[in-house]
Structure 1
Amino acid sequence: MKDEELAGRLREAAGAHRPDRARMLARIERGMAGDPAAGAVRRPRAARPWLRVAGATVAVCGVLAAGALAVTSAGDDGGARAGRVAAAPASPSSTAKAPAVPGGLRPEDGPLWTGGAVDPHSNPYWAQSNVTLRTTEPLSALTVELRVAETGGVDSTGSWRSLPEPDFTVSVNESGGYLVYRWTLRPGRTVPAGTHTFAGQYNHAEGDRDATGDYVTAHAVRASGAEAAVGDRFGRSR
């Protein structure tokens, strides 16, 4: 068959063909509605490359954020622990109060004040305890007692006072675990206003002596007739 004849027949067939328009529209509508009868079943489409990259980036950021949070939390906790460890608890010796003088006496009462301290010239074998008494008014009666605790080898070697010797009677004895020095103003005598000193001297066992058990008390009668009483503890010294 010649080419010209084949071409003529194809043109005739094409011209005679009449497409089924209704059938074609029905197939298109079924395809758009997702009808399984329309053809092949649709498969899920693979994620696009840029979505996979974005997902991976989010995952990495999440891991880094979790790691940063863990490091930060560990640093805070460690710092808090370090702070607690570094904060030393208060020493009991820094907050403890000295025991009160028997009778609840305080160093000051009205015009009268007293304080006790071990003389700085004391040594590992011998000591002197100084009592300071201050009064802003004359006193018509006064008794001062210095009590030195028997901490070992305590033995009196004398005493003195800054006020006139004839104005006082003096005694030294042992009582209740103490070496007791007592100065008593004689009747008819007066202690003038001012600062006065009473001192007790004694030997003691070799070494530094703990004087925290020592204390002084003073009872007085003012020229007006009113009474006053004071007391003080000694500190640790030689």
Structure 2
Amino acid sequence: MTNEDELRARLREAAEAHRPDRARMLARVERGMAADALAAPARPLRPVPWLRVAGAAVAVAGIFAAGGYAVTALSDQSRSVSAAGAEPRLRAEGVIDPGSNRYWAQSDLTVTTSTPLSGLVVELRVAQTGGVASTGNWRSLPAEDFTVSVREDGGALVYRWTLTAGRTVPAGRHVFAGQYNHAEGGREAGSDTYTVTATDTSGHRASARGGFAPTTP
């Protein structure tokens, strides 16, 4: 055996006899990584496994979805409030009360508001068709909340209800009625009219006007 062959044989024996210390190697690797992390400048985060990325995306999507829903709901609510606040939704309908007869009648005016009102004026004009004279009036709202006047004006008997300053009309349906005698027989109400002017608690105004269908009780 030559010197070269003998050297190779000894190296092979030494390699086969070597058993690496796994724990010591891992410890050295960890210490090296920690030292690199402290010494190296900040770098972008390493990609995480696919499942973790997917989970994070779902979680973030859920957060934005919930946040978006809240913002949308708030925006919708703001638009609704603005629409209602821009002008109170006001409706009015006038009818001759079915209890009217050949000598006496009652004109009913139903006012519907979508918002509370800080100002309200309701005017009912009953055309003078002969013998028309007031016998009273009423409203479904508290009597002390209104100032009422009844007068003759321009060939009509005029009832006027004015909301007292500082009082509020709640949202909903409210009835105003004028009562009067008239000449014997059926009375035509086609010339009777009404006007309603309202102001909501934000200062926005709305109005409604109309008439009554001809009737012959």
What is the match of residue 203 of structure 2? 225
SS at match of 2:136: strand
Please state how far the C-alpha of 1:224 moved relative to its aligned partner. 1.6
Matches within 5 A, 1:112-127: 112-127=90-105
Amino acid at match of 2:206: A
Question: Which segments of 5 or more consecutive residues in structure 2 lack a partner in the other structure?
Answer: 1-86
Once residues 173 and 91 of structure 2 are traced to their aligned partners in structure 1, the CA distance between those partners, rounded to angstroms, is 9
How many positions carry a matched residue from both structures? 130
Equivalent position amino acid for 1:161 in 2: R
Contact 2:88–2:204, Cα closer than 8 Å, also in 1 = no
CA RMSD of aligned residues (A): 0.9
| Aligned equivalents of 1:142, 1:112: Cα separation in 2 | 11
3-state SS, counterpart of residue 145 of structure 1: strand
- Distance in 2 (CA, whole Å) between partners of 1:171 and 1:229 is 20
Aligned to 1:139: 117
Aligned residue for 1:166, secondary structure, equals helix
TM-score, reference length from structure 2: 0.59
Larger Rg belongs to: 1
The CA deviation string for residues 72-124 of structure 1, in whole angstroms up to 9 with x for no partner, is xxxxxxxxxxxxxxxxxxxxxxxxxxxxxxxxxxxxx8511001000011000
CA-CA distance at 1:154 after TM superposition: 0.2
Task: Say whether residues 1:208 and 2:186 are aligned partners.
Answer: yes
**Runs of 4+ residues deviating >2 angstroms:** none
Amino acid at match of 1:171: S
TM-score, normalised relative to structure 1: 0.54
Partner of 1:186: 164
1:165 aligns with 2:165: no
2:107 is aligned to 129
Name the counterpart of 1:89.
Answer: none
Instruction: State the identity %.
Output: 60
In 1, distance between residues paired with 2:98 and 2:148? Answer: 24
Q: How do residues 4-15 of structure 1 correspond to structure 2 at under 5 angstroms? A: none
- Alpha-carbon contact 2:119-2:163 (below 8 Å) kept: yes
Shift of residue 223, structure 1, vs aligned partner:
1.3
